[in-house]
Structure 1
Amino acid sequence: MERSRAILLPGSVLPAGPAYDALLAALGPGADAVAKDLELYAGDSPPGDWSLDTEVDGTLREADARGWDTFHLVGYSGGGAAALAFTARHPERLLSLALLEPAWAGNWDWSPAHARLWKQYEELDALPPEQFMPAFMRLGVKPSVVLPPPGDAPPWMAKRPAGIRAFLQSFRTYDLDRRRLEEFRRPVLFALGALSNPDDYGEVAQRLSGVFPDFRLEVFAERHHFDPPHRIEPARLAGMFLDHWARAERIAAEGQ
């Protein structure tokens, strides 16, 4: 039996390995899945012309190098925004889409609360490096969530503030084609942490539920954006993914 082929895109902080190692292990032999690092961090600093399309093109190269005409795509946070951009540009390559709290989902139909939150994200740009990451993380969760104090930063963390700023800049100007997303008929799974900021990821889930024709929301009651299910509850999420992918493959085989 052929294994489900999937590409997993990480967020703007953790590299793909530590982000997805536990999930890949939980998926086991039923999946041929690869965790792909972001193009954003291929060099010492973000390329001057980087945009979400850079990640789209990198994902396409990864699939082509593996000989995958079609595959499942998973994206978390910034990688989720890139996965949405990929879906709009290359829907014919995807069997399904899975979104783990995408950091952004287009600039249409924002509520006033979501617009205020994004104003706060824009204000992060003025902060010095030592304040940037704590303030960025605080915006992503409910006020009641206690975030861990900063520890010793690994070497790759030095690239992250500039990378996050590059994402935020691309979000301001990128044209995510809503019509193309509405035409995507394959299954879409959205995993949401109940402790994440509802004006951010909760609103994104609600908006996308009205865009994708085949949309399923799964809520993880004890999770938030910075202790996500792919790291903390990998077995549960792996089971969801395997079911999601099997259903998508049945739909594709039936020519729907």
Structure 2
Amino acid sequence: MEPFRVILLPGSVLRAGPAYGRLLEILGPSVEAVAKELELYNGDAPPPDWSLDTEADGVLREAGSRGWDTFHLLGYSGGGACALALAAKHPQRLRSLALLEPAWAGNWDWSPAHTALWQHYGELHDLPPEEFMSAFTRLQVKPDAVLPPPPPGPPPSWMAKRPAGISAFLQAFTTYDLDREKLAAFTNPVLFVLGGMSSPDEQGDNADRLSRVFPDFRLEVFPERHHFDPPHRAEPERVAALLRAHWARAEPLS
């Protein structure tokens, strides 16, 4: 059996290498994987015309450079939102879709609590960077969730780009038209991985809405994890097993 061909997109904060390093080690040679950096951070500031389609186009260029007509796509947080955009516009390229707590999942059928949460996100734009990041992270987890401490020492240079990049994502989510009907036509397997300590107003709502859109949808919950202690980093062995089964089930459909 040939290795699974997979592209993995990180979230808007951690770079792709650290985000997926341990998971890829466990997956080993059975997976031909690319942990791809976001196009958003190619320059010193987000491009003025950047959108989720920019990231989708970048994924297709990466696949094309490797001669991949089809492949499995995995995205976490902001990368998950980009993965949804690609699935809607180029479903024929994807063998399967894995969503690790996508930061956004369309603008339809929001619950009142989900709507209120996004109003809070809209209030973050004018905060200074250190307050922005603190408020941004706290909104995404349950009140009693324990957030990991910042790593010791000065922040890496790439971290300075993150507040502007996160703001670009938040702005894109207000204007992007994610086509629900096109997502509903995607019949290959979709896996949604959810941390039980993440905000139910956000990820719980996203999972519930997408479960009513995708014909072949599976939800896997990790009760003790949350958006900033995500399963793919905290429990990579279990996530790797889930992904192998997910990809194997999708292969006959390609």
TM range (shorter): over 0.9
What's the counterpart of residue 244 of structure 1? 246
Please state how far the C-alpha of 1:155 moved relative to its aligned partner. 1.2
Q: Which residue of 1 aligns with 2:147?
A: 147
Partner SS state of residue 126, structure 1: coil
Residue 126 (structure 1) shift: 1.5
Percent identical residues: 71
216, 224, 227: which is aligned to 1:225? 227
The equivalent residue for 2:116 is 116
**One-letter amino acid of the counterpart of residue 222, structure 1:** E
Aligned residue in 2 for 1:185: 187
Measure the CA separation in 2 of the matches of 1:36 and 1:149. 26
Answer yes or no: is the 8 Å Cα contact 2:125–2:167 preserved in 1: yes
1:67-103 C-alpha deviation (Å, 9 max, x unpaired): 0000000000000000000000100000000000000
State the shift of 1:251 in Å. Answer: 3.0
Give the count of matched residue pairs. 252
Q: Residue 124 of structure 1: SS of its match in structure 2?
A: coil
Q: Counterparts of 1:250 and 1:221 in 2: how far apart (Å)?
A: 31
1:6 partner SS: strand
Unpaired runs of 5+ residues, structure 2, are none
2:81 corresponds to: 81
**Aligned-pair CA distance for 1:154:** 1.5
Matches within 5 A, 1:18-57: 18-57=18-57
1-structure distance, mates of 2:9, 2:60: 12
Q: 2 CA distance for matches of 1:230 and 1:34?
A: 15
1:198-213 pair list within 5 angstroms: 198-213=200-215
CA-to-partner distance for each residue in 1:21-59, whole Å, 9 max, x for gaps?
Answer: 011101111111110000000011100110101001000
> 1:7 is matched with which residue?
7
Q: Distance in 2 between matches of 1:149 and 1:237?
A: 23
SS at match of 1:125: coil
CA–CA separation in structure 1 for the residues paired with 2:191 and 2:146: 28
CA distance in 1, matches of 2:85, 2:75: 11
Give 2:237's aligned residue.
235
Partner Cα separation in structure 1 for residue 181 and residue 47 of structure 2: 29
The aligned residue for residue 160 of structure 2 is 158
5+ residue gaps, structure 1: none
SS across alignment from 1:246 = helix
Letter in 1 for 2:167: R
Q: CA deviation at 1:149?
A: 4.0
Residue 64 in structure 1 maps to residue 80 in structure 2: no
Question: d(CA) in 2 for partners of 1:69 and 1:173?
Answer: 30
Instruction: Read off the aligned partner of 2:24 and give its amino acid letter.
Output: L
2:172 equivalent among 170, 173, 176: 170
RMSD in angstroms over aligned alpha carbons? 0.8
The secondary structure found in structure 1 opposite 2:124 is helix
CA contact (8 A) 2:9 2:35 kept: yes
Taking structure 1 as the reference length, the TM-score comes to: 0.97
Are 2:101 and 2:193, in contact at CA under 8 Å, matched by a contact in 1?
yes
Residue-by-residue CA offset, 1:85-141 (whole Å, 9 max, x unaligned): 000010000000000000001110001100000000010101111100010000010
Give the Cα–Cα distance (whole angstroms) in 2 for the partners of residues 146 and 216 of structure 1: 27
